[in-house]
Amino acid sequence: MKVLVIGAGGREHALAYKINLSPLVSEIHVIPGNDAMTHIAQTHPEIGESAHEEIIEFAEQQGIDWVIIGPEQPLIDGLADKLEAKGINTFGPNEAAAQIEGSKRFAKHLMAKYDIPTAQYYESHSKQEALDYLSQCDYPIVLKKDGLAAGKGVIIATNREEAIAAIEKLHDSENEVVVFEEYLEGEEFSLMTLVNGDYAVPFDCIAQDHKRAYDNDQGPNTGGMGAYCPVPHIDNSVIKETNQQIAQPIAQSLKSEGYHFFGLLYIGAMLTNEGPKVIEFNARFGDPEAQVLLKRMESDLMQHIIDLKNKQPIQFKWRDSSIVGVMLASKGYPGSYEKGKKVSDFETNNGTYFVSGLKREDGHFVTSGGRVVLALGEGKDIATAKREAYKAVNAIENEALFYREDIGNKAIH
């Protein structure tokens, strides 16, 4: 079987790594891919992930059996619709269903209509409407841009002054819609769920991300600074409850509303005193959650995708170990940062590093993005896996990079 992965980041590196282990797969391509993936897949840097027509032409010419779309943008831009129209098997939802990630408002309406537990919300269509709302809201209050914002469109305001500043920032154009949300307290976790219409199968292993830039959850929100799995202090009964209260009803509700979701639904949830509540949905694997989960997954991802397509039973199998991943990012990220900084060489094909932002120049790696590389460690528990992950961090020469020191600490007592 020939598989084409779309994307260029660490999540796609992990997808290519995992798919490469499948006995079903004979050939893997990545469009555009990155220079760290070339030992496990054929990359095609000359084709961009937004070049839909070229991607389709490539898939047809090469006789690709399955396309796996990694990032959100091509999904929201309708790449899956175009591939499906040509009869090419595609893992990743169509444009209409991908709105569950692309529009906070869409997701909120759906949850309200079908009684799916989430934070209370209010939607403002103008700066004035937003300012008026402040007279009745409690603090902290969460403000979110309606559309995609790469994890940077969320502001938690702890008082009226901060809320006014947030409104100024988020209501930056005429048509901007801002969603206000009740602040949820508790522990956050990420549950990946395979979805084909009303057939929804959550991973029976959750992961925890670290969204803030600095130690002890300080600093600005990022795309994710590290992750680990499993999460020993969140009981399996919570996964069951999240499945019953969130995963099954959201799949049903999408179907009832006439959407066809085929792909991976990421449930970002908060475990509150009243049980799990939705913080966000994504229409794709989390990054860096995918990297740690796919490293721990022992069963065959490609087989799971085929079984999902045919609505066959899916039984995941996991390694009997814990995985911790620490993100090394360019100094300055998520703000502005320099690119082109030399990073020492390291092994990129054995699952210890998944690369998001490096390219080869004159025979060595230089940085090309904000998040650069996730260093992974495996061990009998999170503490051991953490030690291994930081060994992998320290094996990279990293003057131009920074990372958090506390990845996994919530699971270590």
If binding is defined by CB under 6 A, does position 214 make contact with ligand AMP? no
The span of 130-138, 238-246, 279-287, 333-341 binding ligand GLY (CB under 6 A) equals 279-287
Q: Does 209 bind ligand GLY (CB under 6 A)?
A: yes
Binding pattern for the stretch 174-193 against ligand AMP, x by CB under 6 A and - elsewhere? -------x-xx---x-----
221 interacts with, out of ligand GLY, ligand AMP, none, CB within 5 to 8 A per kind? ligand AMP
Q: Which is nearer to ligand AMP, 30 or 142 (CB)?
A: 142
From the list ligand GLY, ligand AMP, none, partner contacted by residue 188 (C-beta under 5 to 8 A by kind) = ligand AMP
Site string for ligand AMP, 272-311 (x = CB under 6 A): -------xx-------------------------------
First to last CA, the chain: 45
CB of 331 to ligand AMP, least distance (A): 22
> Is residue 369 at the binding interface for ligand GLY, with CB under 6 A as the rule?
no
Asked if 307 interacts with ligand GLY (CB under 6 A), we say no
Residues 252-271 that bind ligand AMP (CB under 6 A): 268
102 binds ligand GLY, rule: CB under 6 A: no
Which of 68, 154, 278, 373 forms a contact with ligand AMP (CB under 6 A)? 154
Secondary structure in 3-state letters for the chain? CEEEEEECCHHHHHHHHHHHCCCCCCEEEEEECCCCCCCCCEECCCCCCCCHHHHHHHHHHHCCCEEEECCHHHHHCCHHHHHHHCCCEEECCCHHHHHHHHCHHHHHHHHHHCCCCECCEEEECCHHHHHHHHHHCCCCEEEEECCCCCCCCEEEECCHHHHHHHHHHHCCCCCCCEEEEECCCCEEEEEEEEEECCEEEECCCCEEECCEEEHHHEEEECCCCEEEECCCCCCHHHHHHHHHHHHHHHHHHHHHCCCCCEEEEEEEEEEECCEEEEEEEECCCCCCHHHHHHHHECCCHHHHHHHHHCCCCCCCCECCCEEEEEEEEECCCCCCCCCCCEECCCCCCCCCEEECCEEEECCEEEECCCEEEEEEEEECCHHHHHHHHHHHHHCCCCCCEECCCCCCHHHCC
Of 250, 253, 248, 242, nearest to 275 (Cα)?
Answer: 242
Residues in contact with ligand GLY, counted by CB under 6 A, come to a total of: 8
User: Does the footprint of ligand GLY cover residue 12 (CB under 6 A)?
Assistant: no
Q: Which does 154 bind (CB under 5 to 8 A by kind): ligand GLY, ligand AMP, none?
A: ligand AMP
Residue 224 within binding range of ligand GLY, rule CB under 6 A: yes
Nearer Cβ to ligand GLY (77/162): 77
Q: Which of 276, 286, 377, 408 binds ligand GLY (CB under 6 A)?
A: 286
Site for ligand AMP in 20-49 (CB under 6 A): none
Binding site for ligand GLY (CB under 6 A): 151, 209, 223-224, 282, 286-287, 289
Binding site for ligand AMP (CB under 6 A): 119, 142, 144, 151, 154, 181, 183-184, 188, 211, 221, 268, 279-280
